[in-house]
Structures are given as C-alpha cells and as structure tokens.
Amino acid sequence: MVPVTASTTGPVLVIGSGLLGASIGLGLRHLGVSVYLRDSSPTTEAVAQDIGAGRSVRAAGGDVPEPVLVVVAAPPDVVAELVVQALTDHPGATVLDIASVKAPILAAVAASGADLTRYVGTHPMTGREKSGPVAARGELFTSMPWVICPGPETGARAITAAKNLAVDLGATITVLDPTEHDETVALISHVPQVMSSLLASRLQDTPLHHLSLAGQGLRDTTRIAGSDPGLWVQILSANARPVVRSLYEVREDIERLIATLEDPAADGARLDIAQLMAEGNAGQARIPGKHGGAPRAFATFTVAVDDTPGTIAKLLTEIGEIGVNLEDLRLEHSPGQPVGLVVASVDPNRREGLVDELQERGWKVVQ
C-alpha cells in the first residue's frame, strides 16, 4: 500500500521523461511532492507535463528551485554522463539512476572524480510493453522489486533517499552489490530476452500457414522478442561479460542436447533427454510465486469462452462471487475460431467445488 504521506521531500528533478521517469513523477505528484522534468526531447518533456508527471523545466524557463533529489531516468548509454553532470550542477542534491545495469555506470562516475557519497545506483524492475510518457502509470512500481546498489563510497543519506523513493512508490526493496546485481539480471532478465529473440528470429522465413498452427507455447516464449532493439543494444553491451558467462552455460546444454538427439536410439540417450527436461522442471519450480517466497503448487482448469466483449469479465466476476481467489490467469485463443480459453490457477482445495459451481452456472469447463 502506497503511504499517504511521502518520506521523499522535494523538489525532485527527474531527468528523462519516458515511461519510468514519467511514472516516478506521477507517483510522487500523487503524494504531493514537487517534481520537475527535464528531457532531451522537448516533446517528450511537454507530454510528461501534460499528463501530470511534473513541471517542465523548459516551460518554467529554466527558473526552477534547487532539487533535493535528482533521478536520472535516461537510456543506459548516457546515464553516467548525466549523473556526473547532476552531481556537479546540484552540489546539495542526492543523485540516483534507475538504469538496468549498475557496475559500469558506477565505474564511469567514479572515474570522473565526482562526489560518490551523494550517488547511488538503483534499478526498479518493472515496465510495460509500451514506452514513452503516454504509457506512464503512477502505480507502475507497486509491489515490484526495486534494487538499490550502493557503492563503497555511497553515503547513508543517499541510501536513505533511494529507499524512501522506492517505498513511497509502493515497491519492495532489495539491496545488492552492483556487480552482484549485474550478474543476477544477466541470468533472470537479459539472457531470457536473448533466447526469446533468437527463437523468434527463426520465424522470419516460416510460411504463414505454418505459423497459423502455433500454440500458446510459442507465444509465451517469444512474447518479449518484441522489445525495443535500440534499448537492448545498450543493455547487452553494458552487461556483456555476465551475459556471455550465462550464454556459455546455455551453449553447453544445447551442445549436450544436440549430441544426444543426433543418435536418440543410443544407450542412455533417452535418459539424458529426460534428465535435461527434469533439470528444467527443477529450475522452473524455484521461481517464486506471486507473493514471493517459495512457489506453491496450484490446481488449474480451463474454461472455453465466447470471444465477445464482457465474457471474461463476467467469468471473473462469478468466480469472485463464488468466493475463490485466482492465483494466476492465462488467456489462449484458438486460431480462426470465435472462442478463447481461460486457463485459471486456484488453491487445489477449491478447484473441484469451483468447477462444479461454474458448470452449474452454464460455463463450459473443458479441462
């Protein structure tokens, strides 16, 4: 729950008015914090002001009060430069950035000779498929991880300011060393993006009538392949070494599988395939559930619904009326058919009663 009174004090200067920067502005403005916006694009800065994310520095003619906190929300390849500039221009302010890579930025800021006691790197691990200030949401950070990565010289005041900002915006705080952060996100974020993009690239010359047979598995594994190439050039270049280490390990598994499948009837081949799949099962099972902590096993069922407006909303309403909490929900569509499939996950102890009640209400439970 976002607190009614903010611990963050203003004025706050947000440098970069895209999705994350504008969302930070919206969240702080909702709490009554004074926010000013600066962006290299006058249009982006103006749009962010128009949606209520803060006051445009350009619109104010540059006549803005000295900030207490500066948040650098710019693309990774310019973050270090902007952090150094902010530390120089605002000698009384705490400066933090929200880039997705931390160690190279800290090294570049340190090399400049800037005051590292007032700087702290952070990474709110959230986002949307859309970009720009028009996609911004003040609640974007609610219940999402926000990693704080202090360096050896980061002062207590800067760490406190970063924690206050994350808590004010409803996020959950994790503190990591910058190098540990980069190694972690390489495996859980950057390599998945690479794998998704590589798989999707295999589809470029696939006949469309073949792709029409694709099921939810292909859609799930290629969903993030639609990400912005320009942004990922910056992220992967900045975090190349940890990503390469993880890719070496993936390569070992792929080469192992290739060698096995080249002679699938050989002694031990089927066991090796089963072991590889089981290793995947074990890794997937370790991903925390929706509330964090250890994952829980849920029971699933599938409801066939008409692909018409309001049908899914009605289904969710009736599940709520029955008094069952949904733990997860996935939508699938039958290509060329006017029906969809709602795959729901619930407490195993509630599944049978819920399915019976939905069937009595006329819903078609198919699994």
Residue 351 burial by CB count (10 A; 0-12/13-18/19+): exposed, middle or buried? middle
- The CA radius of gyration of the chain, in Å to the nearest whole number, is 24
Domain that holds residue 187: 183-285
pTM of this structure: 0.79
Same domain? For 258 and 308 the reply is no
Same domain? For 142 and 120 the reply is yes
Domain assignment present for residue 292? The answer is: no
For residue 337, what pLDDT is reported?
Answer: 59
For residue 350, what pLDDT is reported?
Answer: 87
Please give the chain's pLDDT, 367 residues, in tens: 444 688 999 899 999 999 999 999 999 999 999 999 999 999 999 999 999 999 999 998 878 899 999 999 999 999 999 999 999 999 999 999 999 999 999 999 999 999 999 999 999 999 876 788 998 999 999 999 999 999 999 999 999 999 999 999 999 999 999 999 999 999 999 999 999 999 999 999 999 999 988 888 888 899 889 888 988 999 999 999 999 999 999 999 999 999 999 999 999 999 999 999 999 999 988 887 655 555 566 888 888 888 788 888 888 898 888 988 888 888 776 555 567 788 888 888 888 888 888 888 988 888 6
Same domain? For 279 and 349 the reply is no
Same domain? For 164 and 254 the reply is no
Same domain? For 41 and 105 the reply is yes
Same domain? For 77 and 166 the reply is yes
Quote the CA–CA distance of 130 and 123 in Å, as a whole number: 19
Token pair 């792709």 in the structure block, residue: 211
Query: Which of 176, 210, 232 is at the close of a domain?
Result: 176
Query: Which of 141, 176, 211 is at the close of a domain?
Result: 176
Q: What is the CATH number of the domain that holds 63?
A: 3.40.50.720
Query: Which of 154, 176, 198 is at the close of a domain?
Result: 176
Residues 79-100 have pLDDT tens digits of 999 999 999 999 999 999 999 9
Q: Which residue from 290, 355, 291 is spatially nearest to 322, judged by alpha carbons?
A: 355
Q: What is the CATH number of the domain that holds 321?
A: 3.30.70.260
49 neighbors 60 (Cβ within 8 angstroms): no
Instruction: Measure CA 345 to chain center.
Output: 22
For residue 344, what pLDDT is reported?
Answer: 86
For residue 200, what pLDDT is reported?
Answer: 95
Domain assignment present for residue 7? The answer is: no
